[in-house]
Amino acid sequence: MDFILLNLGQLWMSIVALVIVFSIIGLGAGMIWGRRKTAELKARAEKRTQRMVKELEVQGKATALEEKQKWHQIRADQEEEMAAKQTAIDERDEELAYREKESDQRSETVHTREEDLSVREDEVNDLNARLKSQEIRLKQTSTEYRTRLESLARLTAEEAKKQLYDEMIHDVKQEAEYKVREIMESVRTNANWEAKKIIALAIDRCAVDQSTQSSVAVVPLPNDQIKARIIGKDGRNIRTFEAASEVKVMVDDTPEAVVISCFAPIRREVARAAMTELVSSGKITQTRIEEVIERAKGKVEKRLLSEGQETVDLLKLEPMHDEIKKLLGRLRFRTSYGQNALEHSKEVAFLTGMMAAELGMDEILARRCGLLHDVGKALDHEMEGSHPEIGLDYAERYGEPEEVKNAIVAHHNDEDEEITSPITFLVSAADAISGARPGARRNDPEDYIKRVIALEELARSFDGVAEAYAINAGREIRVMVKTEEVDDAQTHVLAFEMAQKIRNDLTYPGHVKVTAIRGKIAQEWTSDPGGNQQKQRGGGRRRQHGRRDQRPSRSSGSHAAAG
């Protein structure tokens, strides 16, 4: 064991010794290799340094060459710029020399002209002196002639001027009157033609039924035996019916019919509907009469809104408030001179819309104005105020446009109401057309006589009117003027003013034509030398000369629009 351990120790020492030896040998070899490597690196560095020095020398030479070329280029550019500036300076010097020469020439010309003007000024002064002397002589001569003329004419210069001035004023005034008359006739002719054309187109496109409304309603009966039940025992049923409906029921010998009379159209309609229902059921008692009448009132109220809605739909005027529609429905049961108010309003709406379309205006708004222009008539018997005031109140309450309000209050052409919308003129014209249709309205003879008398009295109220006659059912008035007070030009002015006053002061359907006539008749008697008249044809020979101032017959006419 010890031997083994001894051998292991020797082996370990041998290994350590070998390691030390090899380490010394490696260190020496490394030092030798390091020295060689260092020498090689130095050699390479010296070669690289030499190569870089050569490259820097080559680059330095190239840069110097480029800088030299740039300097030569800059110098060449500066020389060219200097040459161009020198050329410009030379040209400017030449131009200045030319202008200086031209200025000298102008100065010479001005000097020459000054000399000419001086000569001419002297000539003008001489001429003025001669003119002044001639003017003095002319004034003296004029004064002498004026004095001689005044002595011959027995008029001073001021009196002659005044006389000439008055004659000129009279001639100018007469010429102006004739010119105004010609212009008015031309404008009136053109305006009438255009208006007639538009109205004719509108009327041709608008055809409505015309029927006179009655203040009574007839309820048909299945037989005459039911009349006894309508009357009731001791007349109780009929009295109950009349008290509840506020109408007059006439049960007479008319076969199979009962007549209901009332001047309130809606109450009459309620009574007609109630009577029809009672007759249909056959059960007629006092209690049932009251129930049926109350039910009929509700039906009629619904019918008012239905009538208004149908009208609005027909004219395409939505949106519109239901209260306004109810007023339109009430117009179905109102009449004006026998003309149904709702049919009249619809006709006015159609006519106004058509005329507005022809004139390029808002057709829908024009229809709305035409439909609502008489809406106040639905309540004018129940409320205080005129129908325009009532209609305006409802239009303001339910937000109608300003054009509609103006059409409501001003379509009668009242002086108190200003027309602010052109559509109002169309509504006024359509209203007149609808009311003037043949058979559209019924007029009482008493009203006609009053209108004719008022027309003649208004014409006679003008100065210079001798007599006035209304003809053609009051649609024309002929006026005889006094020849000594009114001349031809004033005759036309008189006719125009009369037409304006008729339009503003009177109410009439359609239009009124004013014809002013001015004439002069001269009469002379023939006699023999002895002074005795020769009798012939029963009372002296007479020669009449019918003459007018300028024409054999002269008249002037003017048309007034419907009121």
Q: Domain of 499: which CATH number? A: 3.30.300
Number of domains in the chain: 5
User: What integer pLDDT is reported at residue 167 of this predicted model?
Assistant: 82
| 343 shares its domain with 379 | yes
Tokens of 171: 């001639």
Report how far apart, in Å, the C-alpha atoms of 474 and of each of 426, 458, 465, 469, 492 are. Answer: 24, 13, 18, 9, 21
In 206-225, which residue ranges form alpha helices assigned H by DSSP? none
Three-state DSSP at 285 gives coil
pLDDT by position in tens, the chain (length 563) = 666 666 777 777 778 778 787 778 877 777 788 778 788 888 888 888 888 888 887 887 788 788 888 888 888 888 888 889 888 898 888 888 888 888 888 888 888 888 888 888 888 998 898 888 888 988 888 888 777 777 776 777 777 778 778 888 888 888 887 788 788 777 777 766 666 666 666 655 565 555 555 567 788 888 877 888 888 888 888 888 888 888 888 887 777 788 888 877 888 888 888 888 888 887 888 888 888 888 888 888 888 888 889 989 988 888 889 889 988 888 888 877 777 888 889 989 988 998 888 888 899 999 999 999 888 888 866 777 788 888 888 889 988 999 999 999 888 766 677 888 889 888 888 888 777 665 556 555 666 788 888 889 998 999 889 999 888 877 889 999 988 888 887 888 888 889 888 888 887 766 788 999 988 777 777 765 444 444 333 333 333 333 333 333 333 443 333 33
Task: With respect to residue 378, please indicate whether it lies within any of the assigned structural domains.
Answer: yes
Question: HSE on the CB side for 81, CA within 13 Å?
Answer: 6
pLDDT digits (tens, 9 = 90+) for 333-348: 887 777 788 888 998 9
Q: What is the side-by-side strand order in the sheet with 476-481? A: 465-471, 476-481, 512-517, 555-560
Alpha-carbon gap, residue 516 to 243, rounded angstroms: 59
Task: With respect to residue 19, please indicate whether it lies within any of the assigned structural domains.
Answer: no
Range of the domain at 174: 161-205
pLDDT digits (tens, 9 = 90+) for 109-163: 888 888 888 888 888 998 898 888 888 988 888 888 777 777 776 777 777 778 7
b/e map 237-270, b = 16+ CB within 10 Å: bbebbbebbebebebeeeeeebebebebbbbbbb
Tokens of 540: 């002296």
Question: HSE on the CB side for 378, CA within 13 Å?
Answer: 25
| 410 shares its domain with 507 | no
Residue at a domain's end among 302, 334, 361:
302
Task: With respect to residue 373, please indicate whether it lies within any of the assigned structural domains.
Answer: yes
DSSP assignment letter at 235: G
Alpha-carbon gap, residue 291 to 35, rounded angstroms: 144
CATH code of 288's domain = 3.30.1370.10
| 149 shares its domain with 166 | no
Task: With respect to residue 320, please indicate whether it lies within any of the assigned structural domains.
Answer: yes
| 349 shares its domain with 467 | no
| 78 shares its domain with 131 | yes
- Other C-beta atoms closer than 10 Å to the C-beta of 160 total 14
Three-state DSSP at 155 gives coil
Alpha-carbon gap, residue 221 to 254, rounded angstroms: 10
Task: With respect to residue 513, please indicate whether it lies within any of the assigned structural domains.
Answer: yes
| 491 shares its domain with 552 | yes
CATH code of 424's domain = 1.10.3210.10
Residue at a domain's end among 442, 475, 497:
442
Alpha-carbon gap, residue 457 to 461, rounded angstroms: 6
| 459 shares its domain with 362 | no
| 268 shares its domain with 325 | no
| 128 shares its domain with 182 | no
Task: With respect to residue 533, please indicate whether it lies within any of the assigned structural domains.
Answer: yes
Alpha-carbon gap, residue 15 to 138, rounded angstroms: 169
Task: With respect to residue 11, please indicate whether it lies within any of the assigned structural domains.
Answer: no
Task: With respect to residue 13, please indicate whether it lies within any of the assigned structural domains.
Answer: no
- 319: cis peptide before it, omega within 30°? yes
| 365 shares its domain with 288 | no
| 353 shares its domain with 418 | yes
Strand 476-481 to 512-517 pairing: parallel
Question: What does pTM read for this prediction?
Answer: 0.48
Report how far apart, in Å, the C-alpha atoms of 21 and of each of 13, 34, 293 are. Answer: 12, 20, 149
| 406 shares its domain with 346 | yes
Radius of gyration of the chain (CA): 60
Residue at a domain's end among 302, 324, 354:
302
